[in-house]
Amino acid sequence: MSFPADYRAPTDLLQDRVILVTGAGDGIGRAVAKACASHGATVVLLGKTVAKLESVYDEIEAEGGPQPAIYPMNLEGATPADHDQLALTLEGQLSRLDGLVHCAALLPYLSRLKDYEVEDWLKVLQVNLNAPFMLTQALLPLLQRSPEASVVFTGDRVGLEAKPFWGAYGVSKAGVDALARMWAAELESTTVRVNLVDPGPTRTALRKRVYPGEDNSSLKLPESLAPLYLWLLGSDSQPVTGESFAWPTC
């Protein structure tokens, strides 16, 4: 099944569902979180900057969405115990989890591998690859209780193409692609579906950091990607799993 180019998500697509979005304070994560709320979901906003999460929280409430939850977490330093505590908190306060969207990403700079700072390498792999693994593993028991759960990873083709100078970010995104496919294969006989989105060039702070001189006025806004994420999170994409959707060829 391919993503319908003219897809319009029903207003109640995610009614009564709980969706956790990482990197929810900015960029694609913010756009996805707001879109989920506007289609009925109770959204758990996870990110490291409380002020940004509070801003998204206020926007969701102002637009009449279900009251979201804020869960501050710095994925760079989060331990397995921190992820387990997140799972316990969600179980205790919300009793369920129907969707998990991995949008958080770290890309400090472009560099030749021989010049890459080892400390930065470890930080990028921690946020972009280790954290999505640990989060998915910790939250899997909750997801498996849902009659229809969906996990969406966010990839990047620079990883699969092994483009020079993309360093730890490129390696981490290659790993995310493999990780998503592994999870999908291992969960194929369960109620949990796993897919990956490659957003392509998007007008985000992350892209501006590595292309500071770029005229980004022609780049799509993060909100343009929301229909694809909604489709993968909702029933309309059943039984799609183990697939990768690259914008705009998805």
Size of the chain in residues:
250
Under 8 Å CB-to-CB from 55, ≥6 apart: which residues? 25
Rounded Cα gap, residues 221 and 214, in angstroms: 15
CB atoms within 10 A of CB 58: 11
Rounded Cα gap, residues 118 and 177, in angstroms: 23
Q: Which of 7, 169, 211, 229 is catalytic?
A: 169
Let me know if 157 is exposed, middle or buried by CB neighbors in 10 A (0-12, 13-18, 19+). Answer: middle
Let me know if 207 is exposed, middle or buried by CB neighbors in 10 A (0-12, 13-18, 19+). Answer: middle
Phi, psi of 142 (to 5 degrees): -65, -45
SS3 breakdown of the chain: % helix, strand, coil, rounded to 5?
Answer: 45, 15, 40
* 169 a catalytic residue: yes
Residues with active-site annotation? 169
